[in-house]
Amino acid sequence: MTYRIFTLKTRERGGTTLVRGALLMLTAVVVLAVATQTACSKRVRIPIEEPGPVRVVVLPFAVSPGVTGGNRELQWTAMAAPALIVRASRRLPDINVVPFSEVMPVAISEARAARSFTDDSAAAIANWLSAQWTIMGEIRRRGSSYEVVVDFIPARATTVPYRHIKTRRMENIGTTFYQGLVSWFRYVTSQPTPLLQISEPGLQTMRALGEALDKEYGWFATAEPGAAQAIIDEMLNEDEDWINLIFSPTMYPSLAKLSSVDY
């Protein structure tokens, strides 16, 4: 903020003298400006989430323009990336992910034919599903590596969003998702969440799953709900809770027999 300093003068015995009132006035202006500046800074202060689980929606990732023109190289990542984020979130027990079976009908309705989201539409989905945050993002090729952009969008307009950007090889993207989740969780809760020295699966290992989820919910492909039994059978010995979050136990009887997740 720029202040214009001025001097008030008056006639006294034919000369010109500074009036003490001008100095007092200038002091008052500065004090008022500092108070206003402090008030403004309070409005952008980051609200800390209350203790307890943080309910989160994970949306399909954006795919760079050109997919509709025939470039389908990364189209499978639209569903594979969020599935891998959900898997990584299982390492943080205070993150409560809304199941895909609840998210996808709302996401498809909100995204429409464009199959993309804005910050506002992401926040609207979070509010609709009684979540506090939405996670969305995009993966872009950068030579032999990929730029990973993950946006954490709050449901409340008074909360500041968070962005995690890294450039990684495909086999390291799963671990990058986990690191982004930990960084964001520290940001919103100020909890000393440990960053475990672990490795998540590479995104390239999720291609078949991403394509199966695309058909399951009809994001890009024609919806074929109930057609993913084969890939579910392959996953049953890996992570029961994860499978229940990305596929509907109602649609697949074999999932209903697995240990349930408290949503």
Domains of the chain: 9-43 (no CATH), 54-211 (3.40.50.10070)
Q: How far is CA 256 from CA 14, 178, 239, in A?
A: 98, 28, 14
- pLDDT band with cut points at 50, 70 and 90 for residue 122: very high
pLDDT at 50: 57
* Spatial separation of the C-alpha atoms in residues 159 and 249, rounded to whole Å: 34
The percent of residues above 70 in pLDDT, for the chain, comes to: 75
- Give the mean pLDDT of the chain: 82
Say if residue 66's pLDDT is above 60: no
Instruction: Say if residue 4's pLDDT is above 60.
Output: no
pTM passes above 0.95:
no
Joined tokens for residue 253:
């009887």
pLDDT at 68 over 70: no
List, as one string, the DSSP characters of 10-64. Answer: EEETTEEEE-HHHHHHHHHHHHHHHHHHHHHHHHTS-PPPPSSPEEEEEPPPB--
- pLDDT value at residue 136: 98
**Residues 6+ away with beta carbon under 8 Å from 184:** 152, 162, 164
Residues of the chain above pLDDT 90, percent:
61
Helices 207-217 and 77-89 cross at an angle (nearest 10°) of: 110
**pLDDT tens figures, 161-188:** 999 999 999 999 999 999 999 999 999 9
